[in-house]
Amino acid sequence: MPPEDLMERLVNLCKRRGFIFPSAEIYGGFRSTYDYGPLGMLMLRNVKDAWFRSMVQLRDDVVAIDAAILSHPKIWEASGHLATFTDPLVDCRNCKERWRADEIEGVCPKCGSTDLTDARPFNLMFKTYVGPVAEEASVAYLRPETAQGMFVNFMNVLQTTRRKPPFGVAQVGKSFRNEITPGNFVFRTREFEQMELEYFVPPDQGAKWFEYWCDERLRWYRDLGIPESLLRLRPHDPEELSHYSSMTSDVEFAFPWGWGELEGIANRTDFDLTAHAKMSGQRIEYFDQATGERYVPHVIEPAAGATRTMMSFLLAAYDEDQVAGEARTVLRLDRRLAPYKAAVLPLSKNERLSPVAREVLALLQPHLMCEYDETQSIGRRYRRHDEIGTPYCVTVDFESLDDRAVTIRERDSTEQVRIPIGKLVEELRGRLAL
């Protein structure tokens, strides 16, 4: 059973161990923004790599791009974001606080007043100006989703890669939304990272590929260690659908405060390609030279959040147990997500041990992300690595000087085995399935 205050404990661990820091903390923090520390940046990269491996590397029907974050206003006019990407806002006339109208039911949560203004739409896109003069002609937006990068480059990708639907274009990168109520740690932030696939299919195959991607994406979370009981797929009601979608299901995770979205899988039909064709006056379509066939593909979009997903992996992995009568905190992270794969630990800080320990480190570094740690007692160092999810500790002791062997300790079982240094790389690569 997870502890009652799991969220607090996790936030605390993230700060204490260097996963996630409040941004600009020395200045009192900055409006629900966060910085990823030495461990957090490694783990976030592992989440994105695991996604990329599954969605691009292991497939022959998906390519990836990396589009600009600063984007042309026409993109967002065509996509509908300028007109519809809004939340209704009300101001409290009494305490001047500003709220999302759909979240407060007519009463100011701060002062209890019901003297509120009418709701006004507030656009969630960050607007900025490119160049030295802040004028309408130089308006740009920070992208609120990565998806449009794939739509506006559709013809470029089609022509340069000679693809035929069904095929996909993937992208991983930052997106920005001026969220009115960021919160729940990194669940909702104004700057976050997305992992999106736009999968282009012949118009009559939309339903089939939608099913396929729902199954495929659920499998991905399970495969990386989220238990079945904490995951579900929730189809949207018709009135809940976005303006571009004919069908959407969310992959949801059981957060400590309730179910929350990790990923939306939507059938965007030909909405985006058609809108950009109209706005730009360009032909955006698939043309088969052999058959003369011509059509605007439909799009199935699995759109996930990397930062939000990382948090769910951390929550699912958090555990507390007892080892030899002593309490420990352990992150049971999948080996692929763990920031460090191995820690190299000389039994003590001793001048005879450290050359061998450094030799072991140099041996492992080309193959895996390692940490070298020689301060404090060995027991405390094991605990520290349990707490950050390091799957293996490699201990160099005085016997190692004679027998040229080291001890490998496994995180979950705490089992220890002795391995010759000459076989260590092979052993760890095998165990970590690298």
Considering the complex, state which of residue 192 and residue 313 has its C-beta at the smaller distance from ligand ATP.
192
Q: How far is the CB of 407 from ligand ATP (least distance, A)?
A: 41
Nearer to ligand ATP, 263 or 373 (CB): 263
Residue whose CB is less far from ligand ATP, 236 or 383: 236
Smaller CB distance to ligand ATP: residue 30 or 398?
30
Please say which residue, 211 or 261, places its beta carbon nearer to ligand ATP. 261
Nearest CB to ligand ATP, comparing residues 145 and 371: 145
User: Across-strand partners of 303?
Assistant: 196, 264
Nearer to ligand ATP, 131 or 238 (CB): 238
**Minimum CB distance to ligand ATP smaller for 195 or for 424:** 195
Instruction: Report CA 322 to chain centroid distance, whole Å.
Output: 31
- Three-state SS annotation for the chain: CCCCCHHHHHHHHHHHHCCEEECCHHHCCCCCCEEECHHHHHHHHHHHHHHHHHHHHCCCCEEECCCCCEECHHHHHHHCHHHHCEEEEEEECCCCCEEEHHHHCCCCCCCCCCCECCCEEEECCCEEECCCCCCHHHEEEECCCCHHHHHHCHHHHHHHHCCCCCEEEEEEEEEECCCCCCECCCCECCEEEEEEEEEEECHHHHHHHHHHHHHHHHHHHHHCCCCHHHEEEEECCHHHCCCCCCEEEEEEEEECCEEEEEEEEEEEECHHHHHHHHHHCCCCCEECCCCCCEECCEEEEEEEEHHHHHHHHHHHHEEEEEECCEEEEEECCCCCCCCCCEEEEECCCCCCHHHHHHHHHHHHCCCCCEEECCCCCHHHHHHHHHHCCCCEEEEECHHHHHHCEEEEEECCCCCEEEEEHHHHHHHHHHHCCC
Query: Residue 305 or 391: which CB sits closer to ligand ATP?
Result: 305
Whole-number minimum distance, CB 202 to ligand ATP, in Å? 24
Give the shortest CB-178-to-ligand ATP separation in angstroms.
Answer: 9
Query: What's the rounded Cα separation, in Å, for the pair 24 and 15?
Result: 13
Nearest distance in Å: CB 116, ligand ATP: 23
70-73 CB contacts, 8 Å cutoff, 24+ apart:
70/128, 70/130, 70/140, 70/141, 70/142, 71/140, 71/141, 71/142, 71/143, 71/148, 71/149, 72/140, 73/139, 73/140, 73/141
Residue 189 CB, nearest distance to ligand ATP (Å)?
Answer: 5
Beta carbon of residue 211, minimum distance to ligand ATP (angstroms, whole number): 19
* Cβ-based nearer residue to ligand ATP, 49 or 179: 179
Q: For the CB of residue 249, give the shortest distance to ligand ATP in the complex, in Å.
A: 11
- Is the Cβ of residue 143 or residue 177 nearer to ligand ATP in the bound state? 177
Minimum gap (Å) between residue 311 Cβ and ligand ATP: 9
Residues that bind ligand ATP (CB under 6 A): 145, 177, 179, 188-189, 192, 194, 261-264, 303-305, 307-308
CB of 306 to ligand ATP, least distance (A): 8
Q: Indicate the length of the chain as a whole number.
A: 434
Residue 227 beta carbon to ligand ATP: minimum distance, rounded to whole angstroms: 19
Q: 74: alpha, beta or left, given left = phi > 0 and alpha = psi -120 to 50?
A: alpha
Q: Which residue is nearest to ligand ATP (CB)?
A: 305
Minimum distance of ligand ATP from residue 263's CB (angstroms): 5
